[in-house]
Chains A and B, each alone.
Chain A
């Protein structure tokens, strides 16, 4: 079995609750690239210093996709803080994504 290949980005200045995301993508396919960019922008704008993104390329690491019951890419899973949230798609609808993640109106 191939080793898991995760791209881990941790903001070292994080304080307080850190949002941990796992983003499942299919290589550099169009929607996956968009999802990466949209998530990075969203985190910078709303969670500056309090986020961690782990990107899983399902084309290289299907096992993790199975483990998290991911059926489509791109899929974003908010691992922490609870509750667990899953968002499917390229995350282009900013308001909808923020609402799904519970980030609307909390000052972050």
Chain B
């Protein structure tokens, strides 16, 4: 019995037949592809389910990691505030007492004065570090006002004017969502201050259809594509993990002369109460 020759596939698939094949493949209605030499069993549905499961696992892991990281920050912030803050306050009081009991000793007064100034700076530093680790203002004022305040502080610290826009003034964000968005914006501003060489920056928090869109933009030198994708860009990886944990996406686009734009898109249902 003679075996028929395998079909020459390239010349066979045309027109409606090709459309039917594409439809069958797209709708996962194909079990096997009959090749010239082999018959390949394809389990598209199963492969897609496996991929979805893997993505869900990665997302769950990212969420868990973010939660652990936030909790650690809270503990560290509390320790710094309680331990260092209180001891520095005691030191300040002690110096003040020394100044009172030695009013006529000029060299000592001068030394006490400079030490007091140093302690005041240290207290402010401890407060700032503690706030950065655990933004108390976020819990007090909510996300929108915190981002507004962050834009203002960014200008004060860096001298780079930073505007803030939103159409979500009355939105009620849940804790996880607001911390994630705040941290992403904070990370983006840090990158602008460190790397962008920009003369202006902008934060926008907008509701568009069923998504929340966070945009952080600058007019600096623009991030290089290889840096966006680099395994060493830990800040970007961390921001992307935060977005991913909320079923969101993060994109970074940079071009020379036009600056860098970070865009985060998160379903509103994942961040609102």
* Interface contact A29-B29, CB-CB below 8 Å: no
Give Cα A66 to B3, complex, Å: 9
On chain B, the residues within 8 Å of A69 by CB distance are: 7, 12
A residues 10-36 in Cβ contact with B at 8 Å: 25-27, 29-32
Verify if A62 is at the interface (C-beta below 8 Å from B).
yes
Shortest Cβ gap from A59 to chain B (Å) = 6
Contact of A89 among B4, B6, B9, B29 (CB under 8 A): B29
* Interface contact B31-A71, CB-CB below 8 Å: no
Verify if A1 is at the interface (C-beta below 8 Å from B).
yes
Give Cα A59 to B40, complex, Å: 9
* Interface contact B43-A89, CB-CB below 8 Å: no
Beta-carbon nearest neighbor of B6 in chain A: A66
* Interface contact B4-A63, CB-CB below 8 Å: yes
Assuming the A-B contacts A58-B39, A59-B39, are A73 and B30 also in contact, with contact meaning beta carbons closer than 8 angstroms in the complex? yes
Verify if B226 is at the interface (C-beta below 8 Å from A).
no
* Interface contact A63-B3, CB-CB below 8 Å: yes
* Interface contact B24-A59, CB-CB below 8 Å: no
* Interface contact A72-B30, CB-CB below 8 Å: yes
B14-30 contact mask (Cβ, 8 Å, vs A): 1 or 0: 00010011011101111
How many contacts between A and B, using CB within 8 angstroms? 80
On chain A, the residues within 8 Å of B45 by CB distance are: 30
Verify if B33 is at the interface (C-beta below 8 Å from A).
yes
Give Cα A76 to B133, complex, Å: 64
Verify if B61 is at the interface (C-beta below 8 Å from A).
no
Beta-carbon nearest neighbor of A62 in chain B: B39
B74-114 contact mask (Cβ, 8 Å, vs A): 1 or 0: 00000000000000000000000000000000000000000
Give Cα A3 to B33, complex, Å: 21
Assuming the A-B contacts A29-B43, A71-B21, A89-B24, are A58 and B32 also in contact, with contact meaning beta carbons closer than 8 angstroms in the complex? yes
Assuming the A-B contacts A67-B4, A88-B24, are A32 and B31 also in contact, with contact meaning beta carbons closer than 8 angstroms in the complex? yes
Verify if B1 is at the interface (C-beta below 8 Å from A).
yes
A70-107 contact mask (Cβ, 8 Å, vs B): 1 or 0: 11111000000000001111101000000000000000
Contact of A29 among B4, B7, B21, B32 (CB under 8 A): B32
Verify if A65 is at the interface (C-beta below 8 Å from B).
yes
Assuming the A-B contacts A67-B4, A69-B12, are A29 and B23 also in contact, with contact meaning beta carbons closer than 8 angstroms in the complex? no
* Interface contact A66-B5, CB-CB below 8 Å: yes
Assuming the A-B contacts A72-B21, A88-B20, are A66 and B31 also in contact, with contact meaning beta carbons closer than 8 angstroms in the complex? no
Residues on A facing B (Cβ under 8 Å): 1, 25-27, 29-32, 58-59, 62-63, 65-67, 69-74, 86-90, 92
The contact sample of 30 A-B pairs, CB cut-off 8 A, is: A26-B39, A26-B41, A27-B41, A29-B32, A30-B43, A31-B28, A59-B41, A62-B6, A62-B34, A63-B3, A63-B4, A66-B6, A66-B7, A66-B34, A69-B7, A69-B12, A70-B34, A71-B21, A72-B24, A72-B32, A72-B33, A73-B31, A74-B31, A86-B17, A88-B20, A88-B24, A88-B30, A89-B27, A89-B29, A89-B30
Q: A29-B32, A71-B13 are in contact. List 4 more A-B contacts (CB 8 A).
A: A67-B4, A73-B34, A88-B20, A89-B29
